[in-house]
Amino acid sequence: AQTVTQSQPEMSVQEAETVTLSCTYDTSESDYYLFWYKQPPSRQMILVIRQEAYKQQNATENRFSVNFQKAAKSFSLKISDSQLGDAAMYFCAYRILNDMRFGAGTRLTVKP
Amino acid sequence: DTGVSQNPRHKITKRGQNVTFRCDPISEHNRLYWYRQTLGQGPEFLTYFQNEAQLEKSRLLSDRFSAERPKGSFSTLEIQRTEQGDSAMYLCASSTPSGGFAGELFFGEGSRLTVL
């Protein structure tokens, strides 16, 4: 069975600093997709960044980047120059075909 | 079109009653998903439609749950004889075929169910 583990229920970062959120997953498949979604309080989930497993290069979207370690089945999210608006729940997700599995989430607090 | 719309946003019901949630996806999206999210957990997959066809159902979807997507447009999720364990946020998401399975899911704001 495919599982996604986020080992940090809560994280805190000072505004303008960098924070890394961890995610590991378990799968026997070789072709899949990985995502990080953000869920602000009382608002819908939005995509932050995605990574195709066949690509070795780590994805980057502005201040957000990932460290994808396929052999270790690790997919961490780095947020640089953290902003107050980054405060939210962050979910790591793994997708194969139409099956998308989410981790339990990490609540990120940004301190001014 | 402003995104995926879900109604009602919050439903409080007594145990044993039936409830129905509606999801209106983004108009050009032919794929529609239902997820359930309990407090402190990530979303759990319930079911998936491609156009009007329900192609996948999770084992979480007991026989008290039924989902439909007539004409491939909006979808409804009905829960019969609700139980307190059904209390959760029910999320709807939609996507287009473009981008394949790397494609983004667009989520609604969810319908929160509280069963007393």
Pairing relation of β-strands B106-107 and B88-95? antiparallel
Say if A3 is an interface residue toward chain B (CB within 8 Å).
no
pLDDT, tens digit only, all 116 positions of chain B: 579 999 999 999 999 999 999 999 998 888 999 999 998 889 999 999 999 999 888 888 889 999 999 988 999 999 999 999 999 999 999 988 765 666 788 999 999 999 99
| Residue A95: per-residue pLDDT | 87
- Judged against a pLDDT cut of 80, whether residue A2 lies above it is answered with no
Q: How far apart are CA B24 and CA B40, in angstroms?
A: 26
Encode pLDDT of A63-112 as tens digits: 999 999 999 999 999 999 999 999 999 999 998 877 788 999 999 999 99
Candidates A9, A33, A102; nearest CB to B43 = A102
CB contact under 8 A, A103 and B107: no
Instruction: Count CB-CB contacts under 10 A for residue B74.
Output: 16
Instruction: Count CB-CB contacts under 10 A for residue B26.
Output: 17
| Residue B72: per-residue pLDDT | 85
Residue A41, amino acid = P
Q: b/e per residue, A5-30, with b = 16+ CB within 10 A?
A: ebebeebebeeeeebebbbbbebeee
Say if A100 is an interface residue toward chain B (CB within 8 Å).
yes
| Residue A45: per-residue pLDDT | 92
> pLDDT: is B24 or A55 the higher one?
B24
Closest CA to A1 of A21, A22, A19, A25: A25
| Residue B104: per-residue pLDDT | 82
Q: How far is CA A78 from CA A28, A72, A73, A87, in A?
A: 26, 17, 16, 14
